[in-house]
Amino acid sequence: MVSETPAILPGWDLGGRYLSIFYDWHGHGTACASAIAGRGVVVPASVAPKDSLFARVVKPQPGMARDAIVVGVSGLLAGTEIGLLWAAGFDIAPDGTIRYSGKPRAKIISNSWAVLPIYEALTQLQGAIAFAPARVEGLDYIAILENMLSTPGLLDPSYPGVLIVQAAGNGGPGYGTVVTPAAAHRILTVGASTSYAYVKDIRGYGSATADDIAFFSARGPTPLGWVKPDVVNVGWASWTAAPIWAGGFDLFGGTSYATPLTAGVAALIYQVLPDADPQLVKQIIMSTADNIGYDVYSMGAGRVNAFKAVSLALELAGRESRAKVKPLIAYSVDAEKYYLEKVYQQWVWNAKSIIELMLNLIYIALEGKAKLKFKPYSVEPNMVKQYSLYIPDIEPGSTRETSFTIYNPTSKTAKLDVGVYWEKLVLDYEYNVTLQPVNPNITYTILVVPVDKLVDIDLLKVVFTVSYEIFDREHDYEPDYRFFLRLFGWKDVNGNGKVEIDELKYAGFSFQLSNQLVLAVSKPWRKLGDCDYLIISVTGIAINRTSEEIPARIRLLGYEIDSKAKWVSVTPTKTVLDPRSSKTFKVVVSVPKDA
């Protein structure tokens, strides 16, 4: 029976009528909460199962913002939209009106989830009944709802907005794989970078690299060309708290891990700037991210740097930071203007009708009528400042202009050299290899390449490919092999000519149900230059068949970051920013007729 009076009920009724059992059976939510606000408890190795890889590991579990208060909100299978609204400070009146309570229940909403099966099912049901809401990532109703909740003053004149930090998804490494609602342009979308230190703990490798894009991290752009993810953070992998039955701690990763780490950084910023606009917090995090050597559709503005972000917040608050290089903040007004010119009608349609309709689906299905409605509000998507640039569609032979601004909030003068960079292919090696059977289930090969071939390379991509005829012999979309690609640096420390595990530097891995795997390493000479050789290891695991010899190709692609972009120019290229002053730069994109 559906209640005649819609309401959001507390989890524990003090009158004794009900108690909601709210438990994280999988451990995913526990790990995310630990990443944000873990108190730094040391878990003894003795609590781990004896046969666990973690049995000899002892790790402290500090969160990014240990004084933060974390509230769990039920959702995903149902009630996600209501959960978002409740966390942002909205309630349901007895007449079913959704209205702002006067204060957000959280300043930050951390979402380590992506598109939902229930959402797909409801969309199909709605389409069968009448008309389907848009399923273009970034323009669907959940993405528009998150954009609206991220915007001060939109749903209510006194509403301050909340910062929504959203996982980009784990569907990489292909471009255009960011899903909804991560494609919403006003939220902070987080991809995953690497930190392989954990392999030393559980495998005994001599050392490991960091600051590459995890192979699974979803890439942009969105269908309409917006740059996503906004930033990346460590997503592969580290230790977090886990349920007691799992040993009290576990290895956790994915964009699900990168997201709460970033939410924790946002909490530190709010500690300095408690009344900050959520869009300002987003700009701070993006403006201070570290460039780790990838394209913007892979890393966004870069890997989150908590120290730099808090330093910039301190400077904006009028307090001197300890940063040696004083932080600046960048933003664009044109980006929002150009983007909204393209999506305005879709935004208004969702804001006026579809969000409310989808909130009422359960009532419509069970009682034939809607019961929830929003208090009248403006659906106009008022302008906000964005860190990202956005250039609308450009026809061959035409030119478009945009601009961005850099502000110096510090008491020091800043000298700027501004340029546009692109990746230039300068190395292309291809090797034919054969995977040999090791046993009835496994086939294997390695390729050894001198590291000195990687000198002057800014980005290395290793591409492993087998024929689709081998990967799926029956063409039934049921793979016959699962492949694993691993990358190591090796230095023969003891001079015996044998590869020993403590001589290896772990540099990455990739595995997917695909006939092609891609693994990238930025600044390979800096990360692996102390090694003599690059070792590429490929393992194939047979699925419902006996392993066999498999011919394959391994391609090494080397890119140089070139400052001479052919189609894009920026002016001025050099300037001086006085303390607490700003400068606006013009960007011109000219597309050749034969492009």
Rg (alpha carbons) of the chain, rounded to whole number: 26
- Alpha-carbon distance of 61 to 239, in angstroms, equals 7
Are 431 and 324 found together in one domain?
no
- Are residues 159 and 288 part of one domain? yes
Q: Are residues 432 and 545 in the same domain?
A: yes
168: in domain: yes
The answer to whether residues 173 and 281 belong to one domain is yes
- Domain residues for 428? 422-562
**DSSP secondary structure of 457-522:** -SEEEEEEEE-HHHHTTT-SS--SEEEEEEEEEE--TTSSS---GGGEEEEEEEEESSSEEEEEEE
The answer to the question of residue 15 being in a domain is no
- pLDDT value at position 43? 52
Pairing of strands 163-167, 550-562: unpaired
Domain count for the chain:
2
Which amino acid type is present at position 433?
A: V
By DSSP bridging, strand 329-331 and strand 399-408 are antiparallel
Q: Is residue 540 part of a domain?
A: yes
Residues 306 and 187 in one domain: yes
CATH, residue 502:
2.60.120.380
Apex 128 CA angle, 124 and 131, nearest 5: 85
Residue 217 lies inside a defined structural domain of this protein: yes
Looking only at the bridges linking them, the beta strands covering 550-562 and 459-466 are antiparallel
Q: How many residues in total does the chain contain?
A: 595
Asked if residue 591 belongs to a domain, the reply is: no
Instruction: Give me the pLDDT at residue 2, please.
Output: 46
**Among the three residues 281, 304, 331, which one is the final residue of a domain in this structure?**
331
Domain assignment present for 381: no
Residue that terminates a domain, selected from 312, 331, 350: 331
Instruction: Give the CATH number of the domain where residue 143 resides.
Output: 3.40.50.200
Q: Mind listing the pLDDT tens digit for each residue in 142-183?
A: 899 999 999 999 889 999 999 999 999 999 899 999 988 999
Are 314 and 459 found together in one domain? no
Whether residue 580 is contained in a domain is answered as no
**Residue 541: CB atoms within 10 Å:** 14
Tokens 């273009």, residue located: 136
In a domain, 507, yes or no: yes
In one-letter notation, the amino acid at residue 329 is I
- Mark whether 180 and 327 lie in a shared domain: yes
Q: Residue 349: phi, psi to the nearest 5?
A: -60, -45
DSSP at 419: -
* Same domain assignment for residues 161 and 287: yes
Distances (CA, A) of 335 to 168, 331, 332: 21, 9, 6
Q: What is the pTM of this model?
A: 0.93
CA distances from 94 to 14, 78, 100, 256 (A): 20, 21, 14, 36
Q: Which pair of structure tokens corresponds to residue 538? A: 């490929």
What local confidence, expressed as pLDDT, does residue 118 receive?
Answer: 47
Spell out a b/e string for 6-28, using b for 16 or more CB atoms within 10 Å of the CB, else e: beeeeeeeeeeeeeeeeeeeebb
- Kindly state whether residues 82 and 203 are assigned to the same domain: yes
Q: Please report which helix (H) or strand (E) contains residue 504, including its range.
A: strand 504-512
Q: Provide the pLDDT for residue 366.
A: 67
Regions of the chain with pLDDT less than 70 = 1-5, 41-61, 76-78, 116-135, 201, 365-366
Please tell me whether residues 434 and 323 are part of one structural domain: no
Quote the pLDDT of residue 61: 64
Q: What is the pLDDT of residue 406?
A: 96
| pLDDT tens digits for range 32-66 | 999 999 887 655 444 555 555 555 555 556 889 99
- Say how far apart CA 100 and CA 86 lie, in whole Å: 9
